[in-house]
Amino acid sequence: MPTDVVSLKRRKQNIILYVGSDNELNRRLFCFEKGPHSLVIQAPELNLPGYIFGLDPEADKVFINSHFAELTKISTLVKSLEFGKTNWAYLVTRKDGSIRLHYKEKPIYSISCPPWAPLIPEEDIVYTKYITAEDREALWNGRLVDCLVGWNDQWRLWVDYAMKGHRLLDGLDVTFQVIGHITRNGVIIGIMTEHAGDERRIEHRDRAAVYAAVAKVQSKGLIIGVNESNVVIHKGKVRFLDAQSVRKFSEFTDIDATIANYHWQALSAVFDQLKQHPNFIPLLRSWQNDGVPFIPVPAPEKPLGSDFFFRLIVYALRMRDEDELGPSPPSRKTRPRPSALPYTRIHSLGPCERARDTYCNTCV
């Protein structure tokens, strides 16, 4: 892999990359990058009342197919995508069935944690692998690093929690070392850590080491979420991946019950399972790379949605066939939500995100 930042930037300058998505019923976002610019395209909400993935195969099919159908629509506009104009665009369907993008600058959640590590401008970084839109590998200052990037409200909040968690865990040697805070136009948008590289998932033989690491965290008056997927072994040491799950004792009313639930009962359940079978959860960096060139598809005469265009865009993006998607849709969160961190949905910052099937007049 080239290690020259200048040549890597030059190669990416004129390539539009689809780097990932956040696909939920009321938050269908697609992230694209070209050179130093990022553009998030928001599709209308999907009307499936009460839908929970995995309960109804037919509803799951609708959910997954709609994801690719929206990508197909966007692909017909790829030659006209405007980067650097705004950070956000809304996918709008006209009355005649044709589609267009409405560009509008969107305020993103502002990180509240004060910076406590060096500030690293994003322009000094070259992303070399997009595991998902938020989890990336990169080249910075001649070394490989890992980056968590808050490209939308939810993931910007995640970065905020990660900054706070890493700060609380500093000095315990239980996480990957923080190198700095990633900034874009002077605003913190992400966090950079040392490159994991050759880590492995925990196995039953790691029981004593993991228990000792959790006890070390607890001795500092902290709670951390633990499961089979967010603890790894790296160079013989335990590493917690979800620093964003860390909470202080003072945040809980019944601390004894909280410790029992989130630490010892959780650990017991994890290692009871690992005693019966190996850890089958794949490592994060083994996931399929979403950062692929976005290939234009000719717009059909009629509204999109045909099987031909659906399969063409799936092939062009080298996405997996829906039968290979496994137990979760293609844009589920990179890591399972840690048990100690309740999932917090950011309320819409604009009226268009509250619309169900069409966007409001304010935006279009």
pLDDT exceeds 80 at position 21: yes
* CA-wise closest residue to 318 among 296, 346, 290: 290
pLDDT at 42 exceeding the cut of 50:
yes
Q: What is the pLDDT of residue 24?
A: 76
The answer on 205 and 192 residing in a single domain is no
65 and 20 inside one domain: yes
Whether 84 maps to a domain, the answer reads: yes
Segments forming the whole domain that contains residue 179: 119-197
- Whole-model pTM: value is 0.78
Number of independent structural domains in the chain: 3
Share of the chain above pLDDT 70, in %: 74
Same domain, 22 and 78: yes
Q: Do 102 and 9 belong together in one domain?
A: yes
Please write the tens of the pLDDT for every residue from 75-110: 999 889 999 999 999 999 999 989 999 999 999 999
CATH number of the domain residue 156 falls in: 3.30.200.20
pLDDT at 66 over 50: yes
Question: Per-residue pLDDT averaged across 28-47, rounded?
Answer: 91
Determine the angle formed by the axes of helices 207-219 and 266-276, rounding to 10 degrees: 170
Supply the mean pLDDT for the chain. 80
Examine the domain organization and report whether 123 and 136 are in the same domain. yes
Q: Give the per-residue pLDDT at 166.
A: 97
The string of pLDDT tens digits covering residues 182-216 is 999 999 999 999 998 889 999 999 999 999 999 99
Query: Which stretch of DSSP H or E encloses residue 316?
Result: helix 307-316
Q: What is the CATH number of the domain that holds 229?
A: 1.10.510.10
Position 354 confidence tier, pLDDT thresholds 50, 70, 90: very low
User: d(Cα 141, Cα 187) in Å, to the nearest integer?
Assistant: 20
Written as one letter, the residue type at 297 is: V
3-class SS of residue 261: helix
pLDDT tens digits, residue range 231-282? 999 999 999 999 999 999 999 999 999 999 999 999 999 999 999 998 888 7
Nearest-angstrom CA–CA distance, 59 and 220 = 46
Structure tokens at 97: 């069935």
**Alpha-carbon distance values, 190 to 302, 323, 339 (Å):** 41, 33, 22
Q: Are 202 and 210 a contacting pair, CB within 8 Å?
A: yes
Q: Quick one: 63 and 87 in the same domain?
A: yes
189 and 227: one domain?
no
Answer for the pair 146, 137: CB distance below 8 angstroms, yes or no: yes
Angle between helices 307-316 and 57-75 (to 10 degrees): 70
Residue 113 lies in a domain: no
Q: What is the pLDDT of residues 308-353, one digit of tens each?
A: 333 333 334 433 333 333 333 333 333 433 333 333 323 322 333 3
Instruction: Answer with the one of 197, 229, 257 that is the final residue of a domain.
Output: 197
State how far the Cα of 301 lies from the Cα of 62, in Å rounded to an integer.
23
Measured between alpha carbons, how far is 21 from 133 in angstroms, rounded to an integer? 6
For residue 207, being part of any structural domain is answered with: yes
Q: Which helix (H) or strand (E) holds 271?
A: helix 266-276
